[in-house]
A and B are shown apart, each in its own frame.
Chain A
Amino acid sequence: MSKFYRIAGISLASAVVGVFAANAQQLLTHKDLSVAVATTIAQTAIDTCKAQGYNVSAHVLGREGQVVVAVRNPAAGFATFENSMKKAYTARATRAPSGKFAETVKGNPNAAQFFLSNYVAAQGALPIMVGNDVIGAIGISGAPGGDKDEVCAKAGIDKVATALR
């Protein structure tokens, strides 16, 4: 049985090497956010929150966590600009709503990622997906409650749903 695993392991290793070899022959093909799509996401989210009476700041980050669009709302709280970035970063990094990371930290306050610079355990950000590929994230901060931030973030993504493919 142990030999079987070892053989299986070797086959797997070969297969992995094969995959790397294949990769060496071609570049990666990515879809990425355009500034137009990113701006629409951010603007829609801000407008949606504004219509509900909430002034919010927004960040749309790209695949590598780089800022594609950043919007500081001078009518929102001072910390919202930073927080919207960190929420988006968290969503991008974990490929999941940042609220999920908040729950993780609630369950385990020593969760390792919690000690990285740009993670924040707060709801209000969503990953931007093309199929199963995370091409970025949007983070919102300023509404009275992360759930309300997240609703606006979702409105932003929904607005460009047809472009996300």
Chain B
Amino acid sequence: MKKMVYLAGVVLMGSLAGTASAQLVAHKDLSVTTALTIATTAVQTCKAQGYNVSAHVLGRSGEVLVAMRGDDTGPQTYENSMKKAWTARAQRAPSVNFAKAVQANPTVGAIHLSNMVPAQGGLPIMVGEDAIGAVGISGAPGGDKDEACAKAGIDKVAADLK
């Protein structure tokens, strides 16, 4: 039995190596236009509701595509919007999911990474099952309100996310 598992492992490794060397990875990624539209729409949506917010749109590798510092916001909103987006990108899920995970288990491993924040307001930007980036918003009185603006940004470009 042990030998069989070992053999299966060797076969699996062989097939993985074969696949990896045979072809490159094909990606869709955010354009500057799409990223700007997401951020601008989110900031304006919150502004229309009376909230000044900062926004970050991150790409596939967590790189900053668009960063916006909101009017009259504290410096923490700029950082926090980045971290919320980072959290959403890293987990391929709304950052509120991580907030709930930390509430359930305050020592969950990922909380010790630099850019993870257990706070609502970040959403992944998906193309099908693929997280190509994330948007994070901070500044509204409540993460749910931040998230609503983030969603407005993504909804605005929904037709392009394919």
Contacts and interface: CB of A to CB of B under 8 A. Distances in A.
Q: Do A and B come from one complex?
A: yes
Contact of A75 (B31, B36, B59): B31
User: DSSP majority for the B interface?
Assistant: mixed
A69 B57 CA distance: 11
B4 interface: no
B76 interface: no
Interface in B59-88: 59, 63-71, 75, 78
B40 interface: yes
Contact of B40 (A39, A46, A62, A81): A39
B130 interface: no
B149 interface: no
A34 B71 contact: yes
Contacts of B71: 34-36
A71 interface: yes
Contact of A35 (B35, B43, B59, B64): B43
Contacts of A74: 29-32, 59, 65
Given A39-B40, A43-B36, A68 B69 contact: yes
Given A46-B32, A74-B29, A35 B66 contact: no
B31 A62 contact: no
A137 B60 CA distance: 29
A73 interface: yes
Given A35-B43, A74-B59, A67 B67 contact: yes
Given A72-B63, A74-B59, A35 B32 contact: no
28 contacts: A34-B71, A35-B43, A35-B69, A38-B68, A38-B69, A39-B36, A39-B43, A39-B68, A43-B36, A43-B40, A46-B32, A57-B32, A62-B69, A66-B75, A67-B69, A68-B69, A69-B66, A71-B35, A71-B66, A72-B59, A72-B63, A72-B65, A72-B66, A73-B32, A74-B29, A74-B31, A74-B65, A75-B31
Interface of A: 34-36, 38-39, 43, 46, 55, 57, 62, 66-75, 81
